[in-house]
């Protein structure tokens, strides 16, 4: 008889509790020390009705809609049930009553009291009382004979007495119990139980055994015991089918015996081992409710299936036997006794059965036979789980087994408990941000947009929609005639759905309030037999998960879109922008765990699955309680243990716990009901709920904000704190890269801010480790830093006289720069492809802006790389000439003018003149953006960078041009490779180094003039400030040969080709080129400076010219690599 023990739940305050079922079995009714009687619709009922009956309730009994309670004011009162209206006082005692009981038909109530008396009162007329005196101590319990003749009571004086009610006399008294002076001191509550129906037996719990006394003869006919029962039995109760007897003991063990066989068929341990002080069978016999002295309520479920099965088999297969049984039950008590005593010992039993096979017609044997069969059933039912040797026999051959198996049973005590993993009931589908559907007033949705409330009481069935931001839409009140149960809300629409009824199909209703036409509503019927389970709204789409394991997508206007199947029943869904997150049951969970899977889909133009059905990690024994996205679009969820987890896209789409809401709860039963997550600022918005999991609709709950905290170790220490801050910052700013990669606009200031914050934290940790003499750790930290911060770290190290550390750090810096360069090159190769894919998706004008955004991001990346590169340069320089620290920071702040384009993917295309007509991604947003951003201090746009570069070029010239002049020209003609241009930036920014550079400039310039006439002046200009790399030199020398080989190559292709060739050179060769490059940067000349200034002026004038003449042809000509501009510039020189 495998049964399931449901988790206990809090019912009453600590102390004695009692439980019973109502007549229909619909409600569980409990009373406790808090003086309330609670009426539970089920164990999961979160909001039980309650009736206050007094300060304390000691006992209760329920029959025919009358609830009788013994309360602390020494009365026994009646309340109507289930309304709970007081219906008078039945009787009074001089002290409190300890136990009340109804008779079988509910006409009389017996009450035992601490004043040694037992009273029997007519329910209809409380004046008709019978008082049974004779006990010499407080009465522990009372029970009626089902035939209403007798009454049994147990008392603290150690006696169990049977009374004749009419005569008010003792029939028999057994001194069975230990004596005590009060109920509270009694070892056992000794709740007696009379077998229902014929009332053949009276069950008396005596210590660890249950004695059965026969009615009439009052003989002790048998004893039920179990090896595992070590502590006194508190309470016994008969099953409604009269066959089983359940007992609950002080140690929390619950035992069920089959009285016929006297075998223990079920054992369950209370989950915390508290004393079971009351238990009650459901009228169907399928489950037992029990309560403990800590006020908790529990349920044993699943008894019904096996007992019912047994009953059925018994009835079906052994009809004659059943008849005999009845016969026997009615008339032949005596024989039964013999039968029972006969079968007391296992050996005898076996013999008895052997006999039975022969003789079928003797009632007693019929009974036994029947019992054997029943046991057989029992065994075969259990075999699957039991794996006891005996079961095999029972299984193999029923006839043989019937004789052997039961014989073996008592020897090896039957373990009816299946001890392996128990499957968890799968959690039901829900809408994140909603409260349970059974409530009359509930939240159907609370999200970052607004609140949908559902009312479903007598007068009103309505839905209220309210928006946090009234600018979105005004509040709405809808009558809920269709009975919608699930809802979602977005900036565009309200989506509602109702389950199907017998006539009506499941409906989906969408109030598309943001629609610009007059029709703001649409409705869709789902196919017959398909029910909506969960739904969600995204930007421009709606998704509905149905009972047929399907997800249907709709456009927000009501066009049906894709549909696909889910691998399991849906749990919940969430949408944000173009992302759809679905959680479903992947498999059956065991031991209270849920086995959930998650899918994340991107519903943009390029549909794809980002997470394909991976398991969703949950805390142990918890279930999913909220699912959604952060305001920035990162998937997030909360489990019932209050742990918030967020997707970490940079760590292979893993889930990182970012907060445990339970840690901030004051009491164990408090919870936080999450309504939203924000990454920037880092906020977890939730509603604190006192003593429940979700808030009531009234009074209107207020949102609270919780901070995030990664569960890192030792966060009390400074180190731990900084580590936590760093990783939290990294995690919570991860969304920038995702957003920009999917083409959203991002707040660059915030992003830079976050990067700065992270680097600052790294630097702090570095300093801390330095202080703690942890140099290895310093190096580890340095590896996480960006290039320029590493240089700072090097300075820090050298200043604190850690030369070894500084040495290592510089190695790291070198390594980093090399890596960077390699990456850049790779990137360059990849880029054309990248940009082309982007372009191929072209959506006209919007694409251009998106492209602009994209390239801006790209720039940023470049910028950083360049910065790092620059940092490296600085480092090298530091060796040669002690550089000013300020400079380093200065360079950091500065923006590299040309690196951008060099790195940006689109750069190569604009070079050819003929292609000017084609959209230059920089150009289109450029003209608009220029004017817009001209006032902005920070330059993130390439064009802005251009201006700044120009400025730097003009530094020495008088009055730098305001940045608004069109600077497209100098940008376009750049033929140089990326390496070159990155170096250029350095030059542009490193004004302090100018003197040193000057020579280089000159040298480079001089060299360039003859060699490469094509390159445009700006490139030249800035280029000559830097020493050339080996590759550049090599390229200059070999350009012609390349061009000769491939005359039709464009500039970019030339560089690519050149790069390829340079790579094929041997290491020595390359080295020699590098040497040469180094050799070139040797001497200084002020001359160059002037020249450059003039060049800048020339540029400027050229720009002005261009400004005046806006024809593209003109631009083209000026953009030509061999443009007049360069000639002009050099001429001036």
Partner 1 sequence: MDASEVEFLAEKEMVKIIPNFSLDKVFLIGGDLGPFNPGLPIDVPVWLALNLKQRQKCRIIPPEWMDVEKLEEMRDLERKEDMFTPVPSPYYMELTKLLLNHASDNIPKADEIRTLVKDIWDTRIAKLRLSADSFISQQEAYAKLDNLTLMEINTIRAFLLDTLNCMYKLRSNLQ
Peptide bond into 723 cis (omega under 30): no
Three-state secondary structure string covering 641-671: CCEEEEEEHHHCCEEEEEEEHHHHCCCCCCE
Spatial separation of the C-alpha atoms in residues 625 and 593, rounded to whole Å: 14
- Return phi, psi of residue 445, to 5°: -165, 135
Q: Does 610 bind partner 1 (CB under 8 A)?
A: no
Of 549-578, which residues contact partner 1 (CB under 8 A)?
none
Q: Does 448 bind partner 1 (CB under 8 A)?
A: yes
Binding mask 395-434 for partner 1 (x = CB under 8 A): ----------------------------------------
Binder among 702, 804, 1067, 1108 for partner 1 (CB under 8 A): 702
Binder among 699, 844, 962, 1047 for partner 1 (CB under 8 A): 699
CB of 34 to partner 1, least distance (A): 20
CB of 700 to partner 1, least distance (A): 8
CB of 473 to partner 1, least distance (A): 11
Window of 694-702, 919-927, 1014-1022, 1120-1128 that interacts with partner 1 by CB under 8 A: 694-702
Peptide bond into 805 cis (omega under 30): no
Beta strands 654-660 and 643-648 are antiparallel
Residue 251: partners with Cβ closer than 8 Å, 6 or more residues away: 230, 231, 270, 273, 275
Q: Does 471 bind partner 1 (CB under 8 A)?
A: yes
- DSSP 3-state assignment of 37? strand
Q: Does 1108 bind partner 1 (CB under 8 A)?
A: no
Chain centroid to Cα 241, Å, comes to: 45
- Comparing CB distances to partner 1, the nearer of 411 and 702 is 702
- Comparing CB distances to partner 1, the nearer of 659 and 675 is 675
Binder among 315, 400, 563, 705 for partner 1 (CB under 8 A): 705
Positive or negative: CA dihedral 1110, 1111, 1114, 1118 = positive
Beta strands 209-214 and 201-206 are antiparallel
Spatial separation of the C-alpha atoms in residues 267 and 928, rounded to whole Å: 80
What's the token pair of residue 177? 């119990």
Name residue, tokens 């200059």. 1036
Q: Does 703 bind partner 1 (CB under 8 A)?
A: yes
Is 1005 in contact with 1024 (CB distance < 8 Å)? yes
- Comparing CB distances to partner 1, the nearer of 685 and 1026 is 685
Is 175 in contact with 124 (CB distance < 8 Å)? no
- Comparing CB distances to partner 1, the nearer of 685 and 1025 is 685
- Comparing CB distances to partner 1, the nearer of 174 and 467 is 467
H helices of 561-657, in order, are none
**How many CB atoms sit inside 10 A of residue 918's CB?**
12
3-state helix, strand, coil in the chain (%, to 5): 35, 25, 35
Q: Does 1045 bind partner 1 (CB under 8 A)?
A: no
CB of 694 to partner 1, least distance (A): 17
Window of 461-469, 502-510, 823-831, 1039-1047 that interacts with partner 1 by CB under 8 A: 461-469
- Comparing CB distances to partner 1, the nearer of 440 and 470 is 470
Q: Does 651 bind partner 1 (CB under 8 A)?
A: no
CB of 468 to partner 1, least distance (A): 3
- Comparing CB distances to partner 1, the nearer of 745 and 1110 is 745
Spatial separation of the C-alpha atoms in residues 393 and 699, rounded to whole Å: 65
Count the site residues for partner 1 by CB under 8 A.
Answer: 14
**How many CB atoms sit inside 10 A of residue 693's CB?**
16
Is 476 in contact with 522 (CB distance < 8 Å)? no
Q: Does 649 bind partner 1 (CB under 8 A)?
A: no
- Comparing CB distances to partner 1, the nearer of 361 and 471 is 471
Q: Write the DSSP string, 1006-1043.
A: HHHHHH---S-HHHHHHHTTSPPPHHHHHHHHHHHHHH
CB of 1111 to partner 1, least distance (A): 43
Q: Does 467 bind partner 1 (CB under 8 A)?
A: yes
CB of 516 to partner 1, least distance (A): 23
Q: Which residues pair with 278 in a beta bridge?
A: 291
Q: Which residues pair with 236 in a beta bridge?
A: 247
What's the token pair of residue 438? 């059974």
- Comparing CB distances to partner 1, the nearer of 687 and 924 is 687
- Comparing CB distances to partner 1, the nearer of 668 and 700 is 700
Straight-line distance from the first to the last Cα atom of the chain, in angstroms, rounded to the nearest whole number = 103
- Comparing CB distances to partner 1, the nearer of 699 and 937 is 699
Spatial separation of the C-alpha atoms in residues 300 and 280, rounded to whole Å: 10
- Comparing CB distances to partner 1, the nearer of 704 and 916 is 704
Closest by CA to 563, choosing from 596, 527, 598, 610, is: 527
Dihedral angle at the C-alpha atoms of 857, 815, 765, 711, nearest 10 degrees? 70
Window of 497-505, 546-554, 697-705, 750-758 that interacts with partner 1 by CB under 8 A: 697-705
Spatial separation of the C-alpha atoms in residues 444 and 810, rounded to whole Å: 59
- Return phi, psi of residue 746, to 5°: -125, 155
Exposure string of 321-351, with b = 16+ CB inside 10 Å and e = fewer, is bbebbeebbeebbebbbebbebbeeeeebbe
Window of 201-209, 268-276, 468-476, 650-658 that interacts with partner 1 by CB under 8 A: 468-476
Is 477 in contact with 464 (CB distance < 8 Å)? yes
CB of 699 to partner 1, least distance (A): 5
CB of 754 to partner 1, least distance (A): 18
- Comparing CB distances to partner 1, the nearer of 467 and 626 is 467
Is 578 in contact with 539 (CB distance < 8 Å)? yes
CB of 703 to partner 1, least distance (A): 6
Of 878-917, which residues contact partner 1 (CB under 8 A)?
none
- Comparing CB distances to partner 1, the nearer of 474 and 561 is 474
- DSSP 3-state assignment of 191? strand
Name residue, tokens 């069109």. 966
Window of 356-364, 696-704, 885-893, 1006-1014 that interacts with partner 1 by CB under 8 A: 696-704
- Return phi, psi of residue 804, to 5°: -60, -40
- Comparing CB distances to partner 1, the nearer of 92 and 678 is 678
Q: Does 753 bind partner 1 (CB under 8 A)?
A: no
Q: Does 685 bind partner 1 (CB under 8 A)?
A: yes
Window of 227-235, 462-470, 647-655, 792-800 that interacts with partner 1 by CB under 8 A: 462-470
Residue 692: partners with Cβ closer than 8 Å, 6 or more residues away: 46, 669, 671
Q: Does 470 bind partner 1 (CB under 8 A)?
A: yes
Spatial separation of the C-alpha atoms in residues 838 and 142, rounded to whole Å: 84
Window of 466-474, 730-738, 754-762, 878-886 that interacts with partner 1 by CB under 8 A: 466-474
Q: Does 468 bind partner 1 (CB under 8 A)?
A: yes
Q: Does 985 bind partner 1 (CB under 8 A)?
A: no
- Comparing CB distances to partner 1, the nearer of 337 and 466 is 466
Window of 702-710, 817-825, 848-856, 1055-1063 that interacts with partner 1 by CB under 8 A: 702-710
Window of 298-306, 434-442, 452-460, 469-477 that interacts with partner 1 by CB under 8 A: 469-477
Q: Does 469 bind partner 1 (CB under 8 A)?
A: yes
CB of 472 to partner 1, least distance (A): 8
- Return phi, psi of residue 657, to 5°: -70, 130
Q: Does 666 bind partner 1 (CB under 8 A)?
A: no
- Comparing CB distances to partner 1, the nearer of 468 and 774 is 468
- Comparing CB distances to partner 1, the nearer of 700 and 801 is 700
List interacting residues with partner 1 (CB under 8 A): 448, 450, 467-471, 685, 699-700, 702-705
């Amino acid at each position: 008889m495998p049964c399931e023990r449901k988790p206990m739940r809090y019912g009453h305050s600590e102390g004695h509790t009692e439980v019973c079922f109502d007549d229909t079995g619909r409600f569980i009714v409990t009373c406790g020390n808090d003086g309330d009687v609670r009426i539970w619709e089920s164990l999961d009922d979160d909001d039980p009705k309650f009736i206050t009956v007094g300060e304390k309730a000691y006992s209760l009994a329920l029959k025919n809609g009358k609830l009788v309670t013994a309360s602390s004011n020494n009365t026994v009162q009646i309340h109507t049930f289930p309304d709970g209206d007081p219906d008078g006082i039945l009787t009074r005692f001089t002290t409190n009553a300890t136990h009340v009981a109804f008779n079988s038909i509910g006409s009389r109530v017996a009450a035992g009291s601490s004043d040694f008396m037992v009273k029997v009162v007519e329910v209809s007329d409380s004046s008709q009382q019978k008082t049974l005196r004779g006990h010499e101590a407080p009465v522990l319990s009372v029970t009626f004979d089902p035939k209403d003749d007798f009454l049994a009571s147990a008392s603290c004086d150690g006696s169990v007495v049977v009374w004749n009610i009419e005569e008010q006399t003792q029939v028999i008294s057994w001194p069975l119990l230990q004596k005590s002076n009060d109920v509270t001191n009694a070892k056992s509550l000794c709740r007696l139980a009379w077998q229902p129906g014929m009332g053949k037996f009276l069950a008396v719990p005596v210590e660890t055994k249950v004695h059965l006394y026969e009615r009439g003869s009052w003989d002790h006919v048998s004893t039920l015991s179990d090896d595992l029962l070590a502590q006194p039995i508190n309470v016994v109760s008969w099953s409604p089918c009269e066959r089983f007897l359940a007992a609950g003991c002080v140690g929390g063990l619950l035992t069920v015996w089959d009285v016929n066989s006297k075998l223990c068929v079920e054992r369950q341990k209370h989950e915390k081992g508290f004393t079971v002080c009351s238990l009650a069978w459901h009228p169907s016999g399928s489950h037992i409710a029990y309560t403990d002295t800590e006020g908790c309520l529990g349920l044993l479920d699943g008894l019904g299936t096996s007992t019912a099965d047994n009953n059925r088999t018994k009835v079906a297969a052994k009809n004659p036997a059943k008849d005999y049984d009845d016969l026997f039950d009615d008339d032949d008590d005596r024989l039964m006794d013999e039968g029972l005593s006969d079968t007391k010992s296992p050996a005898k039993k076996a013999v008895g059965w052997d006999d039975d096979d022969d003789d079928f017609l003797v009632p007693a044997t019929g009974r036994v036979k029947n019992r054997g069969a029943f046991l057989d059933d029992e065994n075969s039912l259990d075999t699957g789980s039991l794996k006891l040797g005996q079961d095999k026999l029972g299984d193999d051959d029923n006839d043989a087994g019937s004789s052997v198996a039961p014989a073996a049973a008592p020897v090896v005590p039957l373990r009816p408990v299946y001890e392996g993993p128990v499957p968890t009931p799968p959690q039901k589908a829900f809408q994140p941000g909603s409260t349970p559907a059974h409530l009359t007033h509930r939240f159907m949705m609370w999200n970052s947009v607004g609140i949908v409330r559902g009312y479903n009481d007598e007068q009103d069935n309505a839905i209220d929609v309210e928006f946090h931001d009234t600018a979105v839409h005004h509040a709405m009140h809808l009558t809920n005639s269709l009975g919608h149960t699930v809802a979602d809300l977005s900036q565009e629409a309200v989506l509602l759905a109702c389950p199907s009824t017998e006539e009506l199909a499941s409906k989906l209703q969408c109030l598309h309030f943001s629609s610009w036409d007059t029709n703001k509503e649409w409705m869709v019927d789902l196919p017959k037999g398909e029910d909506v389970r969960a739904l969600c709204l995204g930007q421009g789409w709606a998704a509905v998960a149905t009972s047929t394991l399907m997800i249907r997508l709709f456009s927000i206007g009501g066009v049906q879109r894709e549909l696909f199947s889910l691998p399991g029943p849906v749990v919940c869904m969430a949408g944000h922008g173009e992302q759809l997150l679905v959680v479903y049951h992947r498999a059956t969970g065991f031991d209270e765990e849920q086995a959930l899977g998650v899918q994340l889909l991107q519903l943009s133009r390029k549909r794809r699955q980002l997470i394909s059905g991976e398991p969703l990690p949950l805390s142990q024994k918890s279930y999913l309680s909220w699912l959604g996205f952060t305001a920035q679009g990162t998937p997030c969820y909360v489990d019932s243990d209050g742990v918030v987890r967020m997707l970490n896209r940079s760590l292979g789409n893993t889930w990182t716990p970012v907060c445990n809401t339970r840690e901030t709860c004051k009491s164990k039963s408090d919870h936080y009901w999450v309504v939203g997550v924000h990454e920037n600022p880092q906020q977890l918005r939730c509603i604190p709920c006192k003593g429940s999991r979700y808030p009531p609709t009234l009074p209107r709950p207020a949102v609270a904000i919780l901070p995030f905290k990664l569960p890192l170790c030792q966060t009390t220490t400074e180190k731990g704190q900084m580590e936590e801050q760093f990783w939290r910052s990294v995690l919570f700013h991860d969304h920038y890269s995702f957003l920009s990669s999917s083409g959203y606009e991002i707040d660059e200031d915030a992003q830079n801010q976050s990067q700065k914050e992270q680097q600052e934290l790294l630097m702090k940790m570095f300093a801390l480790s330095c202080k703690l003499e942890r140099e290895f750790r310093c190096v580890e930290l340095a590896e996480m830093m960006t290039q320029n911060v590493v240089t700072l770290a090097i300075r820090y190290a050298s200043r604190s006289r850690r030369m070894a550390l500084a040495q290592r750090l510089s190695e790291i810096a070198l390594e980093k720069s090399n890596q960077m360069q390699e990456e850049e090159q790779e990137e360059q190769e990849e880029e054309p492809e990248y940009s082309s894919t982007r372009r191929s998706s072209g959506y006209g004008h919007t694409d251009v802006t998106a492209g602009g955004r994209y390239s801006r991001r790209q720039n940023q990346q470049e910028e950083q790389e360049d910065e790092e590169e620059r940092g490296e340069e600085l480092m090298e320089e530091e060796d040669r000439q002690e550089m000013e620290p300020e400079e380093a920071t200065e360079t950091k702040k500065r923006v590299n003018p040309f690196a951008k384009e060099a790195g940006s993917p689109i750069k190569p295309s604009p070079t050819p003149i003929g292609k000017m007509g084609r959209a230059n991604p920089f150009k289109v947003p450029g003209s608009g953006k220029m004017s817009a951003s001209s006032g902005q201090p920070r330059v993130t746009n390439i064009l802005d960078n251009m201006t700044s570069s120009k400025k730097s070029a003009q530094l020495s010239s008088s009055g730098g041009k305001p940045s608004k002049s069109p600077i497209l020209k100098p940008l376009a003609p750049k033929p140089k490779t990326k390496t070159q241009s990155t170096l250029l930036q350095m030059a542009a920014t490193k004004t302090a180094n100018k003197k040193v550079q000057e020579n280089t400039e000159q040298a480079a310039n001089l060299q360039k003039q003859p060699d490469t006439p094509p390159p445009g002046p700006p490139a030249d200009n800035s280029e000559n400030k830097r020493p050339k790399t080996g590759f550049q030199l090599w390229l200059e020398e070999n350009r012609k040969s390349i061009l000769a080989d491939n005359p039709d190559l464009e500039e970019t292709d030339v560089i690519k080709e050149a790069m390829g060739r340079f790579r094929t050179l041997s290491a020595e060769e390359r080295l020699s080129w590098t040497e040469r490059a180094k050799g070139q940067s040797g001497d200084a000349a002020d001359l160059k400076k002037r020249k450059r200034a003039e060049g800048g002026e020339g540029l400027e004038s050229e720009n002005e010219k261009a400004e005046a003449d806006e024809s593209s042809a003109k631009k083209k000509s000026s953009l030509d690599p061999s443009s007049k501009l360069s000639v002009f510039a050099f001429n001036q020189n």
